[in-house]
Each structure stands twice: as structure tokens, then as C-alpha cells.
Structure 1
Amino acid sequence: MARSALVSEGFNSWKRVNDGEKCAFLIHVGSLSSSHNRCVKCVQDLMKPKQNIDKVLNAQSTEEIIKNMLRLKATIEAHLNDEIAKVVLHNAPQNAKYTSPQIQKEILHILANKVRTMIRDELGDAKFCILVDEAQDESKKEQMSLIFRFVNNSGFLVERFFEIVSVEDTTSANLKKSISDIFVQHNIQIHNMRGQGYDGASNMRGEWNELQALFLRDCPYAYYVHCFAHRLQLTLVAAAKDVPSIWQFFSYLTSIVNFVTSSPKRLSDLQYAQQEEIAYMLAIGECESGTGANQIGTLHRPGATRWSSHYDSVRNLIDMYAATCKILGNLSENEPNGTIRGETCGLCNMIMSFEFIFVLFLMEKILETTDILCQALQNKSQDIVNALKFVSTTKVILLKFREDGWDEFFVKVKVFCERHNIEMPDMSCGYKVNRYCQQRDHVTVEHHYHYDIFNAAIDFQVMELNYRFSEATMELLALCSALDPTDSFKKFNMGDICKLASKFYPADFTQQEIHALRVELEHYQLDIVCDHEFQQISTLSALYREMIVTKKAESYVMIQRLIRLVLTLPVSTATAERAFSSMKFLKTARRNKMDDDLLSDCMILYIERQLSEKIDLESVIDEFYTLKSRRAQLK
């Protein structure tokens, strides 16, 4: 009654308002669970702002967004450090882990583009050189790597991996188009290119229609410099081919290494023989024990193009000579298979011949000398002036060895032969070319080994170095040496420096600036060249950094511009080749279906890890959600 009076019919019993038992206003309240009290409670809740439904929903949404962003951030960081993700993602909902292949690829692409943007910003408007190489990946696709070499604003010479591109064919026109597309995509101006570095393949270095020539048409000052490290390999290959005894030696060396390393049992026998040899040498006091000493190793196979690997192969055979001879001797006597026994006998006779030992130690010395140059030329921060210096010192050492090293070298070979019971020929007897030929008149065995092998091998080395690194054919590089700070600026020459700028870099120096350069050089000669602190510097790149640190570069604007151009010139394509080593690490037989874009993104993050660590993850998250929102709008 009271409920209908207050809800539908209206209230008119005013005389009963104060009657406690019959007052509708008092009766309709009811117990704590009555409708009235429930409504009162709802009104009170509604009047509290923090419990409004929109506030509750927004609060839940914000909290979820924060959690999702944390999970996304953990996923991004997982690309750089897997351990970080384990904690954050362990309890995440299955639909909010951000680990699906599509999302992972998007995140990788954003990260990779961040690194490319950082490299592009670091490059700025500086003059640069490109280093290009191509190779097949695991899935037999042709891949082309692109490296930028330039001097950054801090004065450091850097080589940055930028992109790897799948190319349908490796013709010069197609390679040039692929590189040009990258330039356009990242707003890199081709007129700023001042160098090209390739491995010397015909499609790269050809004079008329090949890659370096095509770029020279667009930028006539993008000078091509044949990879110095590759030149050195060609030098050694040519020298080996022109001395028959050395060519034959490497043929036998390859056969010996292949024979021993092709069988697990022979490898095991080799290691056991080494253990016995080391134990014997320790017992008679021929070698000393200690941490890292007397390691058990294996023979190394010499590479076809990586000629420096021949030094490792030669050095290892000398160290394991006794053990190698022992297992070959055992096989030649006890091997039941007649074919293998016959092959082993031939190898055993060869490895224990005097000529083999003679060439073995000769190539150890030659490769030991040239290996330092080879390693230096593959140094990431090497500059051309310093590279030419290494070429010069290598030639000096080889010539000194030729003129003064015979007696000491022969004693070394003789001692080794006596230790291992190798029969030595009578060096005073007449030399026969072979058993079917007559004795050569007035030519002794010593003369043959001294002049026909020892001198000839060194002469071919020096001759090839002179030919491939001739200053007459590399005027640009010769003029660059005038800036070399080595030996207290011994090669400093104002005329050559001005000629370098005017002849090879007319796009970077006007006639008026050439005059300003000459004036600067006069002050430079009395200031920096005579400064004791600068005289201690040995490389051009170190000189430039010191000029930046001491703010001398601000006073010598033309000189520092020229030094930057010289530093930009390529020395080797080792960085590009190292990129392919990374490609083999990332794209393996188990991951040979990795698409090309993903491979490129993974490689730049892997190779340029120092830049990857500087990425602002908040900007990556913002960009990811922007892309996600854009896709949602398109749908």
C-alpha cells in the first residue's frame, strides 16, 4: 500500500504522516535489504566520481595499455637480450605476448630502420665511399652487401654496414640499379661519392661498361681502388704459379692435409701421436710446460682465395710434422687397402724429401712476412697512406731476407732435417732436373736451391708487389702519401698536396680554395709539422682525430677537408666480406627460407650492435602502435 502510494497512485494520507506504525514514508524504507535501501546505496555509489563506470573502464584500459607496452618493450629488448624477456613475458596472456612471426618481423623492421636512420644521420652530407661485394647465401640466392666508408663528425674513420640486397643477376647494370635505389630511398646524394671499393671481379672493375665505370659517369670523382687485400692474394697466387717447385709443394700440402683430415680415425691417430711427441719432448727437455703450451691441434686446409690461410696450413704442418709422418708411415706399412697404402707411400716419400722441407720453411718465412701486411689491409679502420707504408716495409723485409738470409735459413732447414732423419743431398754435386735428364753444366744442387727456388720465389713476390702496388700506376695514392705523418712528416710536400687537391678533387676545391690551401700549408708546416706532439702520430686517421681534439681543424679548413677525402678512399673490401660471414651465421641450413627483407634487418642489427644499443625503445613502441592504428583504419 505504501509502495503504490509513493510510486503510482500518489500520497494523500497526510494525517498519518506522524503515525509511526501507519506512515507510508517510514514503512516504505523497510529492512536493510529492501528495494529502497538498495536504491539509496546505488545513488550513493553513483555520486562517488572514482566509482563511475567510465572511470572504472578507463582505469582498466589504461592499466592494460601499460602492461601491453611493457610486454612489447620486453619483446623489443629480447631482440637485443633474450634474458630480459623471460621475466616480463612469463605471466603475460597468450594474446598479449607480441611473439607472433608477423609482429616480430615488424619490430625487427622498425629497429633496423632506426639503425639505418642513425647511420644516415651520421653520414650527413659528408663525402663517402661505397664498398660492395656479392655472394650466394644458403638458399643459393645472390646477395649484394653495401658498406659506407666515411669520416664522421668526431673525426673517426668508420665503415658502416647498411644493406644487403638480393639481386637476380650480378651484371654491372643490375648491381648499379640496386645501389642507386638504396641511395634514392635514403636520400643519399651520389655526387658526394668519392670512392668505390670492389674485389676486382670483372663485372665490378671493368673499364668501360662495368660497375665502377657506370658510377664514374654519374660522379667522375668516385675513384675506384682495387681491394688491397685482394691484390695481395693475387700477388701470392701469381708468385706460386711462376715457381714450379712452390706450386708443386702446395699441391702436395693440400693432398697431405686432405688425406689426414678426411678420416676421423686418422685425426684421432694424429692427436694421439702429438700427445706422444709432446710427452717425449718434455722428457728430454726440448720444450717447456705451462698454461696454454703444447696444445693438441689439427692440420688446416689452405684456402683457394684466402691466401693467408696457407700460412696457417704451413705453420701447423711444421708444428705437427713428426706426428704427421708417424701416421703416414704406419699407414704405408699396415694399411690393408692397397689403393690407400699406395697413396700413403707417395705422400710419405714426398713429406720426407729435402725439397719439400726446404720449400716448407721458405714459404713459412715468406708468408709470415706477407701475413702481417694481409692482416693490416683487412683492418676496418685502415687508411691508404698507412697501407702503402705496409707494402713498402714488406718489400724491404723480403729483399733483406733475399740478400742476407740464405745462410741462416739453410742452417735452420739442415737442423730440422737432421732432427727428423731426412736425407740431405750433397749440395756440391751437379744438379739434375730429373732422373731422365742430363746434368746441368756448372749448376750445383746448392745453386739450384739458392737461386732457382729461394731467390726466384722472393723475386717473384717483390716483382708482383711492385707491379700491383706501383706508385707510377697509382698517382693518386702516391700523392696521398705527402700527407703521411709518419717519421715526423718525412714525406710532407706542399706541391704534391696542392696537386692532389687540384687534379683529383676539382669538385671539392675551387681555384680560390686551392690558393687558400697553399697558404694554410705554409702555416701548417711551421705549426703542426714542427709540433712535437703531432710528430709522435703514425697514421693519417690519428692525425685527423688529433686535429679535431685540439681544434686545429678549425684553423686549417682546406687541409682537414683534403684529409677527410683521402681517408674516405677504400683500402679493402674486408668489411663487406665479414658481412657475408654474418649472413652465413644468420641464414643457415635450418633457416634457409628466411626472406630477404628479414635477413637484411637481422644483419644490420647483428653487425651494427653498438648502434642498436642506442635505440630509443619508446620511439619504437610509438611507431609500432602508429602502424597498428593505421592498419586498423584501413580495415
Structure 2
Amino acid sequence: MDRFVTRDTPLSNIDLDDLPWDPAKRKNILSYHPNQRDEVRRKYLSRGPCQPRGHNFKKTAIGGVLRRFNPKWFDKYGDWLEYSVEKDKAFCLCCYLFRDQAQNQGGSDCFVSTGFCGWNKGLDQHVGSDVNSFHNNAKRKCEYLMRQGQSIKHSLHKQSNVVKNDYRIRLNASIDVSRHLLHQGLPFRGHDESDESVNRGNFLELLKYTAGQNESVRKVVLNNAPKNNQMTSPPIQKDIVHCFSEEVTKSIIEEMDNDVFGLLVDESADVSDKEQMAVVFRFVDKYGLVKERFVGIIHVKETSSISLKYAIDSLFAKYGLSLKQVRGQGYDGASNMKGEFNGLRSLILKESSSAYYVHCFAHQLQLVVMAVGKKHFEVGEFFDMISFLMNVVGASCKRKDLIRENYRKIVEEGISNGEIKTGTGLNQEISLQRPGNTRWGSHYKTLLRLVELFSFVVKVLEYIQDEGTDSTKRQQAYGILKYFHTFDFVFYLHLMLFVLGLTDSLSKALQRKDQDILNAISLVESTKSQLQKLRDDGWGTFMAEVSSFCEKNDIGFVIVEEEFVDSRRPRKKTGITTLHHYKVDCFYNVLDMQLQEFNDRFDEVNSELLVCMSSLSPIDSFRQFDKSLLMRLAEFYPDDFSPMERKSLDLQLEIYLDNVKRDERFVDLKSLGDLARVMVETRKHLSHPLVYRLLKLSLIVPVATATVERCFSAMTFVKTTLRNRIGDVFLSDCLVCFIEKQVLNTITNESVIKRFQDMSERRVHL
């Protein structure tokens, strides 16, 4: 009945960016209004056919023989052949876009609606030998539609070379301005863009400045351009940004080279309270370097695992990727993400059994240090007082200025006395930094600043207590001052400084993009060792620091031989000395809790998968090499190693070990990342391809979601409270270009112009 859906179809608003990517999910082209069909067709043609080249195509028994879709067909029929991952069937893009009312012409209906799965027949029958076959006619119509220079409008208004040259200069100027604004993450539009405005927005102002520096540009832009073709309107700006974003993402996908990769996902609300899901791919490039690339954010109406999975499916279909290529998952540990039964992790594992999940190491470390530390009553009280301090001192600009001014005077006195050295980057203005649970490492910086600014903070609190106008703030300042002059405050301040100081280096190392999981595990073990050493031998050094701080700031030191009095129950006898309380109940107890939590949370350390991966480690001349464990590791990836390849790997491993041990270039390697890089540099990845494949699979397993967190930080920079109406697609395009600016710099204007011209009908055809 769809052949009759023509003139009566209502004209409606179509979100061209929301058109389905999977051919099996598209609605009939005839269901669109006749005046909108060309717009839809052009959008699909500019996108190109859906071709998940790295997909593991399902085998089906046909005539007693297992057959499947041949990925080489993508190269042979690349301009029209599509594949639906959901239906496991092939479709024709051209026939879908120009479907005739007649049915079943050369298999056209099969390739349009139901899908083709006769893998034993091939696709030549659909193309047909006749130049006027249904498919060939549809293909010609696609070519005519995209050939703008032959449209009726262009035929009636033949454009001279002068017009085209002016248009190219104007378009290049707009592209250059857009590139600069994207690189800096700056807004495009202004509040008032009229000619009389003194600030018309960054795009127009920068274009005006560019024109003033170049005479050839000035003659053809802004007021010197045709009023209907100035190339400065908001839709044109968004089209240019979208072209940049698509080219950047295309470069990233090409960099992945249809190989396997890891998936890092997280969600967060933006300033307009829209839930955004950020997606990052982790892969090994052709040079053996581990890369983590941001590919976009997706607005999700709800954060259920089903919704997140649907958004990821759409993104993968858009770029011709398949979940079968995923070999690692990295999330922050939320239940909707890591749930073993209904979480996103389990939904992806159903489609790719080798997509092993790792809870973000950096997030786990934050939970270990802060959440566990606060379980100790006195440590929790200490951090509560730090929060009160930030609210009292950090809530007023005047109070912050008092701290800065007092600090500046001390620095100036030290410089004049020769006690403080001067130089580039030294003696910078500092203030208290508010800690945040999602800003890994921020608590350590806050405590360091508090120690450095302690005397100035006390002076400000005394000022608030004596001269503050707000009685509540005066009472809070009194309470904080009273606590700050107790031994408990000094003790827990330095205890947490010791603990956070030991874990700070680990936190920074875990957040590196190229960090591999084996090195991360090694760093975790080293940190545990240092914590154990602090517990066993660090009491004397620790108490010396506490004593020095008390003496410097005139804070009373406890008498360790006396009986300890619990401030919560002062009349009740404790039966223990003060030394026992602080050393055993506090110092040992807090460190034991930390060590226990390290063992419980970082359970990946003991997993069989990582034990097998450790055999690839190049440390100490491949001392941990174990052939049996590496053969077991290959079994964890059945889609990557066939039974015959596993037999070949068994023989290749011995040759590989002997080869790298004899090569001086493999001496003193410290990580799997170094090993992969050197293997590519020495071209041994070609001599030992199966070993290198194992190595890449190990490197793809994610360590932390720090890259995703940085994307959310960039999102707050691009979408601010003053720019909170920015659209979801435009926001994603801006973020891709801003975050991956290194890739953005490689995108040429010509590639942007070509994509821009293909997006829709333009007034001038180049």
C-alpha cells in the first residue's frame, strides 16, 4: 500500500541528523512528503551507505554449506551496498532512495524492504546486465541529484568563473574563522549581530578583522557580498562546523583502520540539565601507539542501560562500526553501566563476548582514599570541618583577598630578606582550592594549600569571628578556630597528607591516555607497598612532622603517657594511653582500612585475564614470559584467533621470544606500550603478527575514564550558562573539534568545502 502514499502525505519538520543509519530501521522513502524527499535523499547520499567493515558477519547454513556476507563486496559495490547489523541482511541505498512503484524488478524490492541474505548467489543479479535496469536507473538518479552544477537552477543561471572565485574566497574565509573559534572553544554568535552593534559576536567580528587584513577577502565578504549569499548566517556556520566534525571523526575512524577497539562511556548533565553521554574509543594506531579519541556526545532522555545501548548502536551504525569489534569496556562503576545482568556492560557482552569490563582505576582510587578514609569517625569529622572552612572563607571575595594579601606580604618580605628565590613561575598567587569528589586529586591540593596558608587562614577566621556581620558565620569561624587549635586537627591533617601524597602519583599516572593495564596494576601494587611501609616504619617520621607543625603554630602537643580521654564520652574511662589511641586506633586503623580496600576494589589484579596478559611484559628482558599463559590468553579472544591461528601462535611464540631477546632495541622496555611501539619501529609486528595481535588486545583494555571526564570538563567550557540553548548536534560537533584539535589541524579547507557542497543545494556550485 505504500505506493499510494504520495500527495496526501503532510509536510512535516524532519530532523535530518536523526535519520536512521541502519537500513532495516528506515521508513519508506515514499512516506516522506514529495517536497522533502530530495532533501532526505541528499542527506543519505552525503552520509554514504552503512558499511560496518569490521563486523564479524554471521554464518548461515545454505544448501548444507556455511555461508556469510562477504566484506569484499563493500569494495566492489561500495557506492550503494549497505549491511544491517540488526537484520544480518544486505540492502541497496540507491534503490531505497528512488524506489519505483513497480515491485520485484531484478530483486529491487528485496534489497529495499525485506533485505537480501542469499549469500550463495552474489549481488550481480541485483545490478543487472541492462544499463536501464531498475538499479542502474536509480544509481543514475542519485548521481544527477548530487551533481548540483547540472540542476535546473544552475542551468538557468550559468555562473562565471569570477562568481565562483568570489564564492570560494568567501567560503574559505568563513571556514578559517570557524576553524579558529573551534580550536579555542569560543562561541560563534553574539547577542546583537546587527550592523549597528559594537560587538556582533566572535564569528562576524573575526571575519571583519580578517577582511581588514586581506584586500582580496575584504572585497567579497560581509557588506561587499551578495545579500543572499554572504556565508555568515547561523545555518551556514553550523553546516561548516558539522563538516569539520565529520572530517575529524572520519580521520579517527580511518586511524582505527577497522580494527578492534575499547569503548569508554560515561554520562553527565550539562548546564541546561540535559543528560549527555560521552563516547571515547581506545585503540592502537598503525605506529603502535595507544590512542583515546573522543567521537561525540549523545543526548539521552533517560540513563537506563537500554537507552544508552540504543544510543551507542546508533552511533556505531553512523560510522559503520560494529559492537563485535569492541574488546574492552570502561565505565565509572554506576549500576546502570556495570550491572552484571541488565547493565550496559552485560548488553554489550551479549554481542561481543570478548568486550571485557574494567572499573575505572582512577575512580576506584578516589573511592578507596576518600570514601574509606571518611568511614573513620575522626577522619570524617576532619573533612567536615574542611568543608565548613571552605564555606566560611571561600564564600566571600573579601575573605579570599585577605588571604592573598597576607600571603603576598610574607612573600615580599622573604624576597627582600633573600630568604625566597625569584624566577619564572615562582611565588605565584595562591588560594584555597575547594575539593571535589569528581576532581581526582583535588583533596590533596586543598590540604597542601591549607598547610601553606594556615597562619593566614587563622587570621581571616579571627577577623570573621571578631568583626563579621553575619552571626552564623561568626559562630562557624569560632568553631573552626577551636578545632584548628587541637592536636586532633594537626594529627589527621598530616595523616591524610601522607596517605594522599602516596596515592597522588598513582592517581596522575592512571589518568594518562596511553597507560596500559599491566603498568597500572604494577603502580597499584607499588602504592600498596608504600602504604604498608608507612604503616610498619613511618610512625616516627609522621609524628616528627606533627610535632614540628604544632610547635610552629603554637598548638598544644598531647602527653602520650597519659590515659586517653574520649571527647565524646569524657567521663568514661578508656583504659588506654593517648599513644595507643593515636598510634593503634587511628594511625594503624586508617592505614589498615586503606590497604584492605585496595585489595577488595582492585580485584582485577587477581583475574586470570590479567595474569595471562602479564606474560607479555617486556620488563627485565621478558622475565615473566610464559607460553602456556599466552596460549590461554588467546582463548579469551575466540573471535580474534581461530583454531588454526592458535596452532600457529604456539609455534610463533618461541621464535618471537628468541628474536626479541637477541635485539638490543628491546632492552630496558618498561611497559606494553613501549613494546608495541618498538615492534612497529623494528617491523617485527609483521614478522610476528599473531603475537602483536595479542599485544594490541592487551593494550585496548581500558584503565581509567579520565578522558571521558576531560570531555565533560570541555563541555562546561563550550556550553556555559550564557550559551545554554546550544543544540545537541552543534554542541557535539563543537566538542569533537575542540577536544580533538590535534586532528582538527590536519583537516584541509578543500575537504570541508567538498563536504559542505554535498550537504545540500548551494547557490554556487564549485
Same fold (TM over 0.5): yes
* Separation in structure 1 between the aligned mates of residue 605 and residue 701 of structure 2, nearest angstrom: 18
The answer on 1:496 being equivalent to 2:629 is yes
Query: For the structure 1 residues 242 and 497, does the alpha-carbon distance in structure 2 shift closer, same or farther, using more than 3 Å as the test?
Result: same
- Is the deviation greater in 160-169 or in 323-332? 323-332
Equivalent-residue separation in structure 2 for 1:125 and 1:291 (angstroms): 47
User: Do the aligned partners of residues 479 and 408 (structure 1) sit closer, same or farther apart at CA in structure 2, a change above 3 Å counting?
Assistant: same
Amino acid of the structure 1 residue aligned with 2:359: H
**Alpha-carbon offset, residue 307 of structure 1:** 4.5
Distance 1:320 1:61, change over 3 A: same
Structure 1 contact 238–464 (Cα < 8 Å) conserved: no
Q: Is the aligned partner of 1:91 residue 2:219?
A: yes
Q: Name which of structure 1's ranges 333-342 and 91-100 shifts more when overlaid on structure 2.
A: 333-342
Change (3 A) 1:110 1:280: closer
1:574 aligns with 2:706: yes
| Structure 1 residue matching 2:295: 3-state secondary structure | strand
Q: Does 1:198 align with 2:297?
A: no
Aligned partner (choices 460, 485, 494) of residue 352 of structure 1: 485
Alignment partner, residue 148 of structure 1: 281
SS of 1:439's partner is: coil
Give how far 1:376 is off. 1.1
Q: Is 1:438 matched up with 2:537?
A: no
Alpha-carbon distance change, 139 to 341 in structure 1, aligned in 2, over 3 angstroms: closer
Q: Contact 1:489–1:535 (CA<8 Å) still a contact in 2?
A: no
Deviation string 1:333-384 (CA, Å, 9 cap, x unpaired) is 4446544332211110111211111111111111111111111111111111
Cα distance in structure 1, aligned partners of 2:504 and 2:249: 34
Partner of 2:179: 80
Contact kept in structure 1, 2:440 and 2:507, CA below 8 Å:
no
Greater helix percent: which structure?
A: 1
Residue 111 (str. 1) matches residue 244 (str. 2): yes
TM-score (norm 2): 0.72
Is contact 2:517–2:701 with CA below 8 Å preserved after alignment? yes
Does 2:733 match 1:597? no
* Structure 1 counterpart SS, 2:392: helix
Write the letter of the residue equivalent to 2:521: L
How far apart are 1:490 and its partner, in Å?
3.0
Equivalent residue for 2:99?
none
CA separation of 1:415 and 1:100: change in aligned 2, threshold 3 A = same
> Which letter maps to 2:479?
G
After TM superposition, give the deviation of residue 280 of structure 1 in Å: 5.5
- Is the Cα contact below 8 Å between 1:277 and 1:323 reproduced in 2? no
Structure 1 stretch 391-400 or stretch 119-128: which is displaced more? 119-128
One-letter amino acid of the structure 2 residue matched with residue 234 of structure 1: L
| CA distance in 2 between partners of 1:432 and 1:372 (Å) | 37
Aligned residues: 575
| Equivalent residues of 2:358, 2:604 under 8 A apart | no
Identity of aligned residues (%): 38
Deviations 1:551-605 (CA, angstroms, capped at 9, x unpaired): 1111111110000111111111111111111111111122111111111111111
Distance across 2 between alignment mates of 1:454 and 1:288:
36
Residue in 1 aligned with 2:748?
616
**Aligned pairs for 1:315-354 within 5 A:** 315-335=448-468, 337-354=470-487
- Is 154-163 or 332-341 further displaced after alignment? 332-341
Q: Secondary structure at the match of 1:440?
A: coil
Summarize the Cα distance change of 1:268–1:471 in structure 2 as closer, same or farther, 3 Å threshold: closer
1:382 maps to: 515
Q: Which amino acid aligns with 1:208?
A: F
- 1:289 positional shift: 4.7
Alignment CA distance shift 1:325-1:220 (3 Å): same
Aligned position for 1:184: 317
Any conservation in 2 of the 1:258–1:301 contact (CA below 8 Å)?
Answer: no
Aligned to 2:551: 418
Q: Measure, in 2, the Cα distance between the counterparts of 1:472 and 1:147.
A: 24
Measured in 1, the distance between the counterparts of 2:527 and 2:729 equals 43
Q: Does the residue aligned with 1:107 lie in a helix, a strand or coil?
A: helix
User: Partners of 1:474 and 1:238 in 2: how far apart?
Assistant: 24
Partner of 2:166: 67
In 2, distance between residues paired with 1:350 and 1:522?
65
The match for 1:405 among 519, 538, 552 is 538
Contact 2:245 2:737 in 1 (8 A): yes
Asked if the contact 1:236–1:307 (Cα under 8 Å) also holds between the matched residues in 2, the reply is no
- Are 2:353 and 1:220 aligned? yes
1:545 and 2:677 are equivalent in the alignment:
yes
- The CA deviation string for residues 176-220 of structure 1, in whole angstroms up to 9 with x for no partner, is 011001111221122111111111111101010111111111111
When residues 426 and 282 of structure 1 are mapped into structure 2, their CA distance, relative to the original with a 3 A threshold, is farther
> SS state of the match for residue 722, structure 2?
helix
SS in 2 for 1:113: helix
State the TM-score, normalized to the length of structure 1.
Answer: 0.86
The change in CA–CA distance for 1:530 and 1:404 in structure 2 (over 3 A counts) is farther
Cα gap change, 1:627/1:334 in structure 2, threshold over 3 Å: closer, same or farther? closer
How many Å separate the matches in 1 of 2:180 and 2:403? 41
Q: Any idea what the Cα deviations from partners look like across 1:382-415, whole Å, max 9, x if unmatched?
A: 1111111110111111111111111111111101
Q: Which residue of 2 aligns with 1:563?
A: 695
- Separation in structure 2 between the aligned mates of residue 428 and residue 285 of structure 1, nearest angstrom: 43
2-structure distance, mates of 1:228, 1:488: 27
Change (3 A) 1:571 1:438: same
Q: Residues 85-133 of structure 1, C-alpha deviation per residue, up to 9 Å, x if partnerless? A: 4435433224343111111111222221112222222222211111111
Alignment-derived partner of residue 485 in structure 1: 618
- Which deviates further from its counterpart, 78-87 or 194-203? 78-87
Q: Secondary structure at the match of 1:221?
A: coil
In structure 2, distance between residues paired with 1:183 and 1:394: 38
Report the CA distance between 1:285 and its aligned residue. 7.0
CA displacement, residues 522-550 of structure 1 (integer Å, 9 cap, x when unaligned): 12222214544312111111111100110
Distance in 2, matches of 1:101 and 1:292, equals 42
Contact 1:197 1:572 in 2 (8 A): yes
When residues 514 and 179 of structure 1 are mapped into structure 2, their CA distance, relative to the original with a 3 A threshold, is same
- Partner of residue 28, structure 1: none
- Give SS of 1:80's match: helix
Opposite residue 461 of structure 1, the aligned amino acid is Q
Mind listing any 5+ residue stretches in structure 1 that lack a counterpart? 1-56
Question: What CA distance in whole angstroms lies between the structure 2 residues aligned with 1:627 and 1:275?
Answer: 58
**C-alpha distance in 2, partners of 1:286/1:114?**
55
Determine which of 231, 234, 239 is the counterpart of 2:367. 234
| Counterpart among 630, 637, 648 of residue 505 in structure 1 | 637
Structure 1 residues 286 and 450: CA distance shift in structure 2, 3 A = farther
User: How many angstroms apart in 1 are the aligned matches of 2:757 and 2:371?
Assistant: 59
1:341/1:106 CA distance change after superposition, 3 Å: closer
1:213/1:593 CA distance change after superposition, 3 Å: same
1:536 aligns with 2:635: no
Distance (whole Å) between structure 2 residues aligned to residue 587 and residue 115 of structure 1: 20
Q: Is the 8 A contact 2:300 2:307 kept in 1?
A: yes
| Between 176-185 and 608-617, the greater mean CA deviation after superposition | 608-617
- Aligned residue for 2:297, secondary structure, equals strand
In structure 1, distance between residues paired with 2:692 and 2:159 = 60
Larger-Rg structure:
1
Q: Structure 1 pair 70/285, CA: closer, same or farther in 2 (3 Å)?
A: closer
